Amino acid sequence: MISVSLSTPGGPVRRLAGLLHRRPGLRLSALLAAPLLWLVVAYLGALAALLLSAFWTTNVFTGDVVKQFSTQNFHDLLTGDVYRRIALRSVGVAALVTVVDAVIAFPMAFCMAKLASPRAQRWLVIAILTPLWAGYLVKAYAWRVILSGDGLVHWALAPLGMAGPGYGLAAVVMTLAYLWLPYMILPIYAGLERLPNSLLDAAADLGAGAFRTFRTVIWPIAFPAVVAGSIFTFSLSLGDFISVKIVGGKSQLIGNVVYDNVGAANNLPFAAAVATVPVAVMVVYLVAVRRTGALENL
């Protein structure tokens, strides 16, 4: 009985199962269809719509979008001094935030991975993750209060005869570095945890000092993890516009230009054109770090 039903195709379910068994390609496509559809339509589709609308313009008075192909937005974007300056400033801030985060995160991650007891490790990870649950705005406004003229920073520096940085780009870098620090610590921590202690012992046995061990053993192994963290801190900083509004004083970044064109000017096409700049910067960055193996460390 059983052998018969197996050799001759039974119900539709059976037939489908048989078909899928014979054709692994079909099986894979069926499995991936839903997520791939989401990826393509919702995710890449939105990007495509963004790129497409960047080539439209708006009617100056009524604000209606004029759906005619035009490269005017990109022309304005590339020839306007101010946009180049803002783009470079944004990349600079993002890079600085990344460096600050890397410098702070590395020793912290090293202590967590190599010096803390396993029990303490778990608690430290929780401690690092906890601030991520607090609201972004609350943290940004907290920094506004900390950096204000009668705030903590000013109070601490006053006896030394120094003044706080006040509101401006320095304040933006400090705030963003604080906000994104967990995204740098966690990948480095994960990377260093994979580093066998025996390698450190071997380096010590062979007479390497602390700095030499760091340079020749720890850093090469941890580097992809640092780059992985930098992808987070860099891209998150590049797109940020709220911190600048809160602690940035009179400065503006690329996110503000996008925001102002959507909110104040009602010029979606130009906002879309501006928004392609960070996308382009990130693509260049990702292609550049591809070879370091960082993408396997995410």
Partner 1 sequence: MRSMRIAFAAVAAVTLVTAGCGGDSGGGAAKGGAAGAAGFRPPNIPAMQSLGKGEGQVNLVAWAGYAEDGSNDKTVDWVHPFEKQTGCKVNTKIAGTSDEMVSLMKTGQYDAVSASGDASLRLIAGGTVAPVNTSLVPNYADIFAGLKMKPWNSVDGKAYGIPHGRGANLLMWRTDKVKPAPDSWGAVFDPNSPYKGKVTAYDSPIYIADAALYLMSTQPALGIKDPYALDQKQFDAAVNLLRQQKTIIGEYWSDYTKEVQAFKSGDSVLGTTWQVIANLAQGEKAPVQATLPKEGATGWSDTWMVAAKAQHPNCAYMWMNWIVSPKVNAQVAEWFGEAPANSKACQETSDKKFCDVYHAADEPYWKDIHYWNTPITQCLDGRTNVTCVDYSKWTQAWTSIKG
Locus of tokens 């199962």: 17
Other CB atoms within 10 Å distance of the CB of residue 283: 10
Residue 34 touches partner 1, criterion: CB under 8 A: no
Q: Is 45 in the site for partner 1 (CB under 8 A)?
A: yes
Q: How many residues bind partner 1 (CB under 8 A)?
A: 52
Judge contact between 46 and 56, C-beta under 8 A. Answer: no
Distances (CA, A) of 33 to 12, 22, 40: 21, 19, 10
108, 132, 151, 286: which one binds partner 1 (CB under 8 A): 151
Comparing CB distances to partner 1, the nearer of 151 and 239 is 151
> Under rule CB under 8 A, which residues in 56-75 are in contact with partner 1?
56, 58-68
Contacts of 214 (CB under 8 A, 6+ apart): none
Q: Residues 152, 193, 260, 286: which binds partner 1 (CB under 8 A)?
A: 260
Reported residue count of the chain is 298
Q: With contact defined as beta carbons under 8 Å apart, do 261 and 274 qualify?
A: yes
3-state helix, strand, coil in the chain (%, to 5): 80, 0, 20
Q: Name the strand (E) or helix (H) holding 290.
A: none
Q: Tell me the window of 99-107, 121-129, 207-215, 255-263 that interacts with partner 1 (CB under 8 A).
A: 255-263
Contact letters for partner 1, residues 129-148 (x by CB under 8 A): ---------------xx--x
Residues within the interface to partner 1 (CB under 8 A): 28, 36, 39-41, 44-45, 48-49, 52, 56, 58-68, 76, 80-83, 85-86, 144-145, 148-151, 166-167, 245-246, 248-252, 257, 260-261, 263-267
